[in-house]
Structures are given as structure tokens and as C-alpha cells.
Amino acid sequence: MSVLAKHTQGKGGPDKIFRISGMAKARAAEVGKENIINATTGAFLDANGQLITMKTVEEVVKTIPFRDSAEYAPIEGTKGFVNAAIDGAFREYRPNGFIDGVATPGGTGGLHHSIYNYLEPGDTVLTMDRYWAAYKSICRECGRGFDTFVSFDENNKFNLPALKEKVEELLAKQDNLLYILNTPAHNPTGYSLSEEDMDGVLDVLKEAAKGGKNIILFLDVAYIDYAGEKEEVRKIFKKLSGLPANILTIVGYSMSKGFTLYGQRTGAMIGVSSSEEVIKEFADINQYTSRATWSNINRPAMRTLATIYNDAELLAAVCKERDDYYQMIKARADIFTQEAKECGLPMLPYVAGFFLSIPAKNPDAICEKLHEENIFAVPLAAGVRIAVCAVPVRKIKGMAAKVMAAWKAFEE
Ligand code: PLP
């Protein structure tokens, strides 16, 4: 029996990633934790399988008076936080134009508001065909459609012609287009758009905007702090300067990974436009939607970010810790990538980040076969996602060959 309203019936069911992670834990209880590889979870774990947290962040959190933590925060976020989020996202590469931010519970909150406020019911969101599954869930929750383009061509290059075709197709049907672009260190492939790719994307959007319809580019930068050299990866932001007024960029900034505060649910949506009016409207409407959904967000986490960005020493300490952790993930990914090359296992182009992906037509069968080797990974629509963030170097070694054996069983 269901007592749900019709529009919401049929949603839900267990989350695939948590289900497989649960299987890995059950197997670990049988054969010992050391004997399994749990490459499912999107949290960064150390060599002992413990969640990595940052000492500097922990110390700052502990200095916050309890009364301050307990108080309500302004709906739009504290000023100090919003400014720190804008600084943290752009650093030296702040685009020219009008910029404002609204606090959100993680990057997820900004995605929700963007999908809800910039598309009509029934309109369709566009993203890559390799994507974070929550995008689709949020679209469904908001009554918006979801479509993808083939992200990489046959040479594993970012597929601009496919993007252009889909942009044109959707704009023929709707007045606003929302394109979610997760870069750098994309989940699930680890791809980061090059400057050339980004120029190509903006050319496609500018050309499409000439028709007078509105384009919203949602840049999901959830993994930016693990994407490599921090100045280098931010160069793409400068390119957001001087876009036509009917192209709004929204940058989804999150403290979840960069400050290892996943559970504190803190982030910001940052709007960039050449039109002051569009940015005023952005701030007004998204605050309104916050009031009408979760109200205000986590005050102590906001204060933590503001404190760190107002103290050069604290900021340097956070950057140093993060760089060490980046090197840890890189070492894991480098080994997997090298071994994959040696055994001929195909991989989508990995640059940096928590995940890498193996393209496959039968991902479920491959993942099930891997269970025989006590390896747990996530089957996606057209591939297998491996969370290098969760697997220590000693377990990564030899893993690619085992994945290759399972891949061969179904793909050749
Ligand atoms: N975007 C991508 C691609 C992600 O993988 C995640 C988290 O896993 C997020 C955004 C946002 O996470 P949060 O809401 O915790 O900031």
C-alpha cells in the first residue's frame, strides 16, 4: 500500500553505491578487512581505511564558541563565509563581472536551486554521459528532465561536437538551457577540461546564446582542491569574464572534500554575470528558495571557512595538508593507470581526483565477477567506477590486472 501523492510514487529504493559498499563490509566481516578492496565509497580514506580529516580544520572548529555555533545563520550565509567561498573558489583567477554567492548545504544545494529556479517544469538538464547519479535524482525530484551527450569521442577527446548538437536540440525545445559541467577532477572519470576544451565549451554556448535564449552553465567544482596545481586548474575561471548577459555561470563550491567536512553540509552557489540585474536576481531568488526548503545552513562550518581565509597561516596550513593528500591520491591513481596500460585495460581519460572509470558495456556483470576476487566497485551506465580515494597503495597494486580479467570475460 502507498499513501504517497502520485507525483512521488515509484521513487526511492536503496542507493546503489551504499548497497555495494554494504556488501563489501559484509564480505570484510567474513574474510577480514585486509582481504577485500572496497573501491565504492566517495570519501577519502587513509591506508587503514579511516576517514581522512584535516588537523587544521579540526582545530579551527574547536575554537568556535558553542553559543555562536548554536545560533541561526543568515539565510544567504554569513558575509564572511560568502566572501571566503568566492576567494576559495577563484583565488587569483576571479572573473571580471558581477559576482555574488548564496550559502547552500554542500554543492548539492546549489544544484537543487539551479535546476529548480532556472528551468521550467518539464525542461531538460544537460550533462556528460558519465555523471554523478545525484544530478538525475535532483532533476526527477524537481520535475525536470535529464539528458546527456557522449562525453568523449573515439580518441578519448572531450566531445565538443556532441555537446553542440545537444545544446541546439534542447534550445529548440526550451527557453533556458542548464548545462552541468563537473570539472576539474570529474566524478566518475577524473577528467579535467583543458583550457582549450573550456574555450570550446564557451564558444558553443556563446554561439547558441546568439539566438536570444538563456544559458546557465553550472560549473560543479566539488573536487577542485584535489585537481592538481591549484593556480593552474583555476585558469578556466578567468574565461567566464565578459560573457553575454544571457549566459549566467553558477559555480557550485563545496567544503565537503576540500575541507573534509562532508557531514557538515556546507557550500555556496556563486553566480557570475556581466549583468548586475541578473546577479541581483540570482541572489534574491536563491535565498528565497533556501528559505522555502532548508532555511539557513551550518553556522560553525561557515565560520570555519571565514576564519581560515582571514588568516594567512591557517590557510597555508590547510593548503599544505591538502597538497599532501592530493599526492596520496595521485600515487594511487598513477599505479592503477600504469598497470592498466601494461595489461591493456581501457580507461577513460583520468587527470586527477577521487575516481577513475573503465568503459564497459556490461558493468554489472564485471562488478559481480570482481566480487569473486573480493573487489567491490560501482557499475555505472556504461562503465565501472573505481574510487581510488578509498583504496590504499598496497591494495591498488595488482588491481588493474584483476579488473582486466573480469573486463575480458564480458567485453571481448
Ligand atoms: N558534485 C559531484 C560530482 C560530487 O561527486 C559531489 C559529492 O559527492 C558533489 C557535487 C557535492 O557534494 P556535497 O553536496 O557534499 O558538497
3-state DSSP of 35-68: HCEECCCCCCECCCCCECCCHHHHHHHHCCCHHH
Check whether 231 has a pLDDT greater than 80.
no
Residues in the chain: 412
For helices 133-142 and 106-118, angle between their N-to-C axes, nearest 10 degrees: 40
Backbone φ, ψ for residue 407 (5° rounding): -60, -45
Among residues 260, 101, 236, which one has the least CA distance to residue 182?
A: 236
pLDDT of 168:
98
108 lines ligand 1 (CB under 6 A): yes
Check whether 153 has a pLDDT greater than 90.
yes
What average pLDDT score do residues 217-243 get? 93
Give me 96's grid cell: 571580471
Ligand 1 atom nearest the C-alpha of 265 is: 15
What average pLDDT score do residues 39-62 get? 95
Portion of the chain with pLDDT greater than 90, in percent:
94
User: At 103, is the secondary structure helix, strand, or coil?
Assistant: strand
pLDDT (tens digit, 9 = 90+) per residue, 287-304?
A: 999 999 999 999 999 999
CB 354 within 8 A of CB 377: no
What average pLDDT score do residues 188-202 get? 97
Distance CA 399, CA 330 (A): 16
Check whether 13 has a pLDDT greater than 80.
no
**2 CA → ligand 1 middle, Å:** 31
Q: Which residues have CB under 8 Å from 337's CB, separation 6+?
A: 347, 350, 356
pLDDT of 152:
97
132 lines ligand 1 (CB under 6 A): yes
Q: What is the CA radius of gyration of the chain?
A: 21
* CA–CA distances in Å: residue 383 to residues 4, 358, 399: 34, 5, 16
Q: Which amino acid is at 22?
A: G
**226 CA → ligand 1 middle, Å:** 13
CB 237 within 8 A of CB 90: yes
190 lines ligand 1 (CB under 6 A): no
298 lines ligand 1 (CB under 6 A): no
pLDDT of 334:
97
Check whether 17 has a pLDDT greater than 90.
no
The percent helix, strand, coil of the chain (3-state, each to 5) is 50, 15, 35
Q: Which residues have CB under 8 Å from 351's CB, separation 6+?
A: 184, 185, 190, 191, 192, 227, 228
Atom 8 of ligand 1 has which residue's CA nearest to it? 42
Which one-letter DSSP state was computed for residue 384? E
pLDDT of 381:
87
- 393-404 in b/e form (b: 16+ CB < 10 A) is eebbeebbebbb
Reported pTM:
0.97
pLDDT of 328:
96
Ligand 1 atom nearest the C-alpha of 105 is: 14
88 lines ligand 1 (CB under 6 A): no
